[in-house]
């Protein structure tokens, strides 16, 4: 009997700057995987960010949202560029991404920060501090101060006044914390919850809920850190961390810090999830200064494909196949210009993608 081919419907949103180049290589890797593993992968493309503002007048067109709602997963590039920085708040390219996260209810943002051994010298920290770090930041992505109301700027009798609101409901906290426990259970079983409970009521509730849920996961060791202390501990001794769970704003900040520990922000993927549905994107931005020059590092986008096979398609075997190919190509000394050093061979975006595909085929 003929086996049914697994279907993967993927929407690609290249966005701005280097987004197009890096998602191009990520699609190449998907196609290679599809032929190696007999998957039926289909791709559709949509506009988002500055490019969408130019073509449709808004950073997130209805058409793009509908495409995403019909797909299994979204592969996202990057948004933004200096030509759009002066636009009104609602027309900024970044708004497209924020609206998409909210509209698709992608409440869980997973940002792994892992040091790959061929790149250990790329970190600005000492080898003995960063060797072997493997941290997963789980950031709440659709609530908190990013979306709380009231918000805005008003003119008062005393001059201008600006307001943002940090707000979390029990339900919002429970769903992200529960997922973090599940992930910690599958890893080294250590969960650090980060808050500012010495100042904020939102954090007081957050901490209470973490403690309640921890009773369901006796095998996971839980600790609480204030966000300022966590920022300090991340550079002092990052190896103490396994899974970090935190709210939207703290997670935004700490995930950049964790990324920098690895020395290569151009390497880091991320997943924004609601159940199996996910949007996968490199952590780096649109890098307009190098766009269109075949200089961008496509590895973060390619490792985002690995995360897609892990979390949406539940094929960790294929995810690992991508990750192994990346490590092998790096171990052979190939680097894009952002990572070049002594004893390396500098390659462009496309060649890096080709090398990774070849390595997957040769396995
Ligand atoms: C990120 C980015 C976004 C965020 C910006 C571009 C809105 O910094 O994905 O971390 O703050 O969430
Ligand atoms: Mg950020």
What tens digit of pLDDT does each residue of 214-236 get?
999 999 999 999 999 999 999 99
Ligand 1 pocket test, candidate residues 81, 252, 255, most atoms within 8 A of CB: 252
Which one of 40, 85, 161, 228 is the catalytic residue?
228
Residue whose Cα lies nearest atom 11 of ligand 1: it is 252
228 included as an active-site residue: yes
User: How much is the pLDDT for 154?
Assistant: 96
Sign of the dihedral defined by the CA atoms of residues 237, 188, 106, 266, in that order: positive
Torsion-angle region of 49 (φ positive above 0: left; ψ -120 to 50: alpha; else: beta): left
| pLDDT(349) > 80 | yes
Which one of 252, 311, 334, 338 is the catalytic residue?
252
User: CA distances (Å), 99 to each of 220, 262, 284, 311, in order?
Assistant: 34, 29, 19, 22
146 included as an active-site residue: yes
CA dihedral (229, 248, 144, 186) in degrees, to 10, reads -90
Residue whose Cα lies nearest atom 7 of ligand 1: it is 94
338 vs 207: CA distance, rounded Å: 40
SS3 (DSSP) at 154? strand
| pLDDT(17) > 70 | yes
16 included as an active-site residue: no
User: Which atom of ligand 1 is the closest one to the Cα of 255?
Assistant: 10
Which one of 102, 114, 134, 256 is the catalytic residue?
256
161 included as an active-site residue: no
| pLDDT(2) > 70 | no
* Mean pLDDT score, 144-153: 96
The string of pLDDT tens digits covering residues 22-60 is: 999 999 999 999 999 999 999 999 999 999 999 999 999
Q: What percent of the chain has pLDDT over 70?
A: 99
Domains and CATH numbers, the chain: 1-109+269-363 (3.40.718.10), 134-260 (3.40.718.10)
User: How much is the pLDDT for 1?
Assistant: 54
Ligand 1 pocket test, candidate residues 78, 95, 98, 144, most atoms within 8 A of CB: 98
The string of pLDDT tens digits covering residues 241-280 is: 999 999 999 999 999 999 989 877 788 999 999 999 999 9
194 vs 225: CA distance, rounded Å: 5
Give 252 Cα–ligand 1 centroid separation in angstroms: 7
Which one of 146, 280, 311, 334 is the catalytic residue?
146
Q: How is residue 186 written in tokens?
A: 């599958």
Give 231 Cα–ligand 2 centroid separation in angstroms: 15
Residue whose Cα lies nearest atom 6 of ligand 1: it is 94
User: How much is the pLDDT for 3?
Assistant: 64
Of 362, 357, 301, 359, the C-alpha closest to 34 is 357
User: CA distances (Å), 245 to each of 42, 79, 167, 224, in order?
Assistant: 34, 26, 17, 10
67 vs 95: CA distance, rounded Å: 18
Q: What percent of the chain has pLDDT over 90?
A: 89
Q: Which residues line ligand 1 (CB under 6 A)?
A: 94, 97-98, 252
SS3 (DSSP) at 273? strand
The string of pLDDT tens digits covering residues 91-140 is: 999 999 999 999 999 999 999 999 888 888 888 889 999 999 999 999 99
User: Which atom of ligand 1 is the closest one to the Cα of 270?
Assistant: 9
* Mean pLDDT score, 306-324: 97
Give 241 Cα–ligand 2 centroid separation in angstroms: 20
What's the mean per-residue pLDDT of the chain? Answer: 95
196 included as an active-site residue: yes
Q: Are 265 and 210 in contact (CB under 8 A)?
A: no
Q: Are 247 and 281 in contact (CB under 8 A)?
A: no
* Mean pLDDT score, 197-207: 98
How many residues appear in the chain? Answer: 363
Supply the DSSP string of 337-350, one letter for each residue.
Answer: GGG--TT-EE--HH
152 vs 157: CA distance, rounded Å: 16
Q: Are 158 and 194 in contact (CB under 8 A)?
A: no
292 vs 287: CA distance, rounded Å: 10
């Amino acid at each position: 009997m003929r086996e049914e081919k697994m279907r993967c419907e993927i929407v690609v949103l290249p966005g701005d700057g280097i987004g197009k180049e890096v998602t191009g290589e990520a699609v190449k890797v998907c196609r290679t995987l599809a032929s190696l593993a007999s998957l039926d992968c289909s791709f559709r493309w949509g506009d988002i960010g500055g490019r969408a503002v130019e073509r449709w007048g808004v950073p997130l067109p209805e058409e793009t949202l509908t495409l995403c709602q019909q797909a299994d997963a979204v592969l996202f590039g990057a948004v933004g560029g200096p030509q759009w920085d002066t636009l009104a708040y609602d027309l900024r390219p970044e708004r497209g991404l924020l609206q998409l996260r909210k509209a698709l209810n992608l409440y869980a943002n997973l940002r792994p920060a892992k040091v790959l051994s061929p790149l250990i010298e790329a970190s600005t920290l000492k080898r003995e501090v960063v060797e072997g770090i493997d941290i997963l930041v789980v950031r709440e992505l659709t609530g908190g101060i990013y979306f709380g109301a009231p918000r805005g700027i008003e003119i008062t009798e005393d001059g201008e006044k600006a307001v943002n609101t940090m707000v979390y409901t029990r339900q919002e906290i429970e769903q992200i914390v529960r997922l973090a426990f599940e992930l910690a259970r599958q890893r080294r079983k250590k969960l650090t919850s980060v808050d500012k409970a010495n100042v904020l009521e939102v954090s007081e509730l957050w901490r209470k809920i973490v403690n309640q849920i921890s009773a369901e996961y006796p095998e996971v060791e839980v600790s609480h850190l204030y966000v300022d202390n966590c920022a300090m501990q991340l550079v002092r001794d990052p190896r103490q961390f396994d899974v970090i769970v935190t709210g939207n704003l703290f997670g935004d900040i700490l995930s950049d810090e964790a990324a920098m520990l690895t020395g290569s922000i151009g390497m880091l993927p991320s997943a924004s999830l609601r159940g199996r549905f996910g949007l996968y994107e490199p952590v780096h931005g649109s890098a307009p200064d190098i766009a269109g020059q075949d200089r961008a590092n496509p590895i973060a986008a390619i490792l985002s494909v690995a995360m897609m096979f892990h979390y949406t398609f539940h094929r960790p075997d294929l995810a690992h196949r991508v990750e192994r190919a990346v490590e092998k190509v790096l171990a052979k000394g190939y680097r894009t210009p952002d990572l070049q050093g002594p004893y390396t061979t500098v390659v462009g975006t496309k060649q890096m993608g080709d090398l990774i595909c070849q390595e997957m085929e040769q396995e």
